[in-house]
Structure 1
Amino acid sequence: MARMHTRRRGSSGSDNPVADDPPEWSDVDADDIEDRVVELAEQGHDPSQIGMKLRDEGVKGTPVPDVKLATDKKVTEILAENDADPEVPEDLRNLFERAVRLREHMDDNQQDAQNKRALQNTESKIRRLVNYYQGDELDEEFTYSYDVAVDVLDRA
C-alpha cells in the first residue's frame, strides 16, 4: 500500500511467526497475565508498552512472548474488560502529541514551511482517525482542535 502523504510505496515490515499455541517455556497462567496487564495500565503504561514489558520482564520472571496466544485476548480487550482502557486510543494520542509539538514549534518559527505542511498532514490524519473512532471509543460530539489535544494530554 502506498504512503498516505507521499507518492512513494510503503515499506514492508516484519511479521509475527505463525503459531497457534504459546511456547512451552512460557507457561504463565492467563489470569496472572491479565492481572499484570491491569497493573501496568494503572501505572500509566500504554498498551504497546505493556506488551513490550510483558515480553521483556514477563510475569513472575517468565516472559510472555504473545499476550493474545497466552490469553486469547488482546491487551486492549483485557483493559476494556477491567475498565482500565485509556480515554483516547493510543494511536490518536500519539498524533495529538505530535500535533501539539508541531504547533508549539510553528508559534516560534512561522516561516518553517516544512513543519507547517507536517502539521497539516498530522491534523488531517487526526481528523480521519476521529471519524473512525466516533461512536465506539470517542463521543459522537468529539471534534478535534488544538485546545482539545492539549486538554487530553494534560489529563494523562
Structure 2
Amino acid sequence: MARMHTRRRGSSGSDKPAADEPPEWSDVDSDKIEDRVVELAEQGYEPSQIGMKLRDEGVTGTPIPDVKLATGKKLTEILEENDAKSDIPEDLYNLMERAVRLREHIQQNQQDYQNKRALQNTESKVRRLVDYYRGDEIEPDFTYSYDVAVELIEE
C-alpha cells in the first residue's frame, strides 16, 4: 500500500505473534497490571509509552508482553474504565503537536518551502483524523485550527 502524501510504498514491519494466552513466564495478576497502567497514566505517560514500559519493566519485575492477553482488555479500555483517558486521542495529539512546531518554524524561516509542504501535509492529516474521531472521541463541533491546537497542547 502506498503512503498518503508520496507515491512510495512503506517498508513492511513485523507482525505480533499469534497467541491465545499469555506466556507461562508472565503470570502477573490482571488487577496488578490494571493498577500499574492507571499509575503510569497518572504520571503522564501516553498509552503507547505505557505499553512499552510494561513490556520492558513490567509489574514487580515481571515483563508483560501483551496487556490484552494478560487482562482480557485493551490498554485504552482499562484507562477508560478508570477515568484516566486523555481528552484527545494520542495520534491526533501527536500530529497537532507536530503542526504547531512546524508553523512556529515557518514563522521564523519563511523561505523554507520544504517544511511549508510538510505543514500542509500534516494539517491535512489532522483534519482527516478530526473527521474520523468527531462525535466519538472528540466533540461533534470540534474544528482544527492553529489556535485551538496551541491551546490543547499547552494544557
Instruction: Quickly name the TM-score band, shorter chain normalised.
Output: over 0.9
Runs of 4 or more, structure 1, over 3 Å off, are none
Deviation at 1:10, TM superposition (A): 2.0
Residues 28-62 of structure 1 deviation map (CA, whole Å, 9 limit, x = unaligned) = 01111011000000000000000001011111111
| Structure 1 unmatched ranges of 5 or more | none
Residue type at the aligned position of 1:146? Y
SS state at 1:136 partner: coil
Take 2:134 and 2:11, find their aligned partners in 1: how far apart are those partners? 29
Residue type at the aligned position of 2:34? E
1:97 and 2:97 correspond: yes
Residue type at the aligned position of 2:111? Q
1:52 and 2:52 correspond: yes
Take 1:141 and 1:35, find their aligned partners in 2: how far apart are those partners? 34
Take 1:12 and 1:106, find their aligned partners in 2: how far apart are those partners? 32
| Structure 2 unmatched ranges of 5 or more | none
Equivalences, count? 155
1:118 and 2:118 correspond: yes
SS state at 1:35 partner: helix
Identity among equivalent positions (%) equals 78
TM-score (norm 1): 0.98
Take 2:120 and 2:11, find their aligned partners in 1: how far apart are those partners? 23
Matches within 5 A, 1:36-75: 36-75=36-75
Deviation at 1:11, TM superposition (A): 1.6
TM-score (norm 2): 0.98
Q: CA RMSD in A?
A: 0.6
Residue type at the aligned position of 2:106? M
